[in-house]
Amino acid sequence: MKTALITGATDGVGRVVAKRLAADGWRVLAHGRSVERGQSLVREIEGTGGKTAFLPADLASLAAVRQLAEDVQKQTDSLPLLINNAGIGTVGATPGRQVSVDGHELRFAVNYLAGFLLTHLVLPLVKASAPARIVNVSSAGQQAIDFADVMLTKGYSGMRAYCQSKLAQILFTIDLADELKDSGVTVNCLHPSTYMNTTMVRQSGTTPISSVETGADAILQLAVSPQLEGKSGLYFNVMNQARPNPQADDPKARAQLRTLSLELTRL
């Protein structure tokens, strides 16, 4: 039985993806923050004969990300699929600029840095499971990273913070795809759907215009479709390959982000 790790699997589109993969015979390692939602997902999946385990972690803490990676390694010695789906939107429960446990701007920390660190920590498992895939759930909302003020200490806005963190994911995807060339591991990213009916979208006060099922279809295409076999370093807008913000094509920007990320995560 193949094992998949999905972050942000207990709510929204991640929950739909987790249930679909489990129904297709995958063992799902489901990450989330809420123990209550995690346990209810386990009951749902196991109630239909699926295999799963819930792994709690708050991705606003790099120590918690490291613990999550350790928990994954205790659960499995094979990981042919990693889906970095967890994230926070343009606004949270508290408006205004917030910082993570480690003092980093919160959206950059949760939406990008946590996935960067987790991916690197479980990469030996993923490589050992080749052919394997990594999927980074990004967004069409993208804004060039200001390397002079990555943590947005000046002129902060939740939208800017969110869009910058989502573009960081795309730069990381392209960079990692280069690094993993000829390893049997592919890495791609996508905008799953616009304003899906998720907690994140409702928190922002926006009326949903698409479903989590549409988003799940798009994520699963990158995760399991034979059409994506061997394809890497790509960005998709829902089901179609697309061009991200031009900064993603800048090798200097990608190198700058990589250096900063390694420094912040102490890898």
Give the three-class secondary structure for 158. Answer: helix
From residue 198, how far is each of 11, 160, 170, 206 by CA, in Å?
8, 20, 22, 10
| DSSP assignment letter at 262 | H
The pLDDT assigned to 175 comes to: 98
Give the three-class secondary structure for 155. Answer: coil
Q: How far, in Å, CA of 61 to CA of 73, rounded?
A: 19
Residue 226: alpha-carbon gap to chain centroid:
21
> Which residue reads 């798009």 in tokens?
218
Amino acid letter, residue 202? R
Inter-residue contact 54 to 10 (CB < 8 Å): yes
> Which residue reads 């926070």 in tokens?
88
Peptide bond into 131 cis (omega under 30): yes
> Which residue reads 């990555």 in tokens?
150
Inter-residue contact 221 to 228 (CB < 8 Å): yes
Inter-residue contact 89 to 71 (CB < 8 Å): no
Reported pTM: 0.95
Give the residue numbers marked as catalytic: 162
Q: How far, in Å, CA of 158 to CA of 40, rounded?
A: 31
The ranges of the chain with pLDDT < 70 are 92-93, 195-210
Q: How far, in Å, CA of 173 to CA of 5, rounded?
A: 17
The pLDDT assigned to 241 comes to: 98
pLDDT tens per residue, range 168-199: 999 999 999 999 999 999 999 999 987 665 66
With a pLDDT cut of 90, the percent of the chain lying above it is 89
The pLDDT assigned to 217 comes to: 95
Which residues are within 8 A (CB) of 113 and not within 5 positions of it... i.e. 6 or more apart?
Answer: 62, 100, 104, 261, 264, 265
The pLDDT assigned to 193 comes to: 83
Structural domains present in the chain: 3-265 (3.40.50.720)
Closest by CA position to 191, among listed 240, 119, 257, 247: 240
